[in-house]
Amino acid sequence: MASVQKISPFLMFDGPVEDAAKFYVSVFPNSEIKSANPMSATIVANGTEILMFNGGPHFKFTPGISLFVKCKDQAEVDLYWNKFLAGGGREDNCGWLQDKWGVSWQIIPDALGRYLSDPDREKANRALQAMLKMKKIVVADLEKAFNG
């Protein structure tokens, strides 16, 4: 039996959502626009359904809510990071960025979780301190800090 996604992000934009829908499906592989018009869109971005609505100026995006992108390696981090920035985004700290509409994304390599959860808290803290100084997460720099 196929799994059904029970919870989907619902993003309220200030203006037409068709351009955002097109951009997001261009960023992620295996993605499609299920429906789109100036008021609403539904996309599937690499298996995750995202609903979008033109809600006007009443709602603003904040970094308090972000979309977390799990990346298997540095190449994948670089791919997503570069696509979002080329699309008009801006860098934030610790692997976060905002796209041109103000939606916050976390572009995070799997290695970060491994380093930060390591039972050797001294090593984990060195990796944490290195990450706190980064914009885009660089796995080689995390590993160097982790290993001392």
pLDDT in tens, 39-67: 999 999 999 999 999 999 999 999 999 99
- State residue 5's pLDDT score: 83
The DSSP secondary structure of 5-73, one letter per residue, reads: -----EEEESS--HHHHHHHHHHSSS-EEEEE-SSEEEEEETTEEEEEEE-GGG----TTSEEEEEESS
CATH assignment of 61-148, among 2.70.170.10, 3.10.180.10, 3.40.1010.20, 3.90.1150.200: 3.10.180.10
- State residue 29's pLDDT score: 93
CATH code assigned to 1-59: 3.10.180.10
Residues in the chain with pLDDT values less than 50: none
| pTM of the complete model | 0.93
- State residue 82's pLDDT score: 98
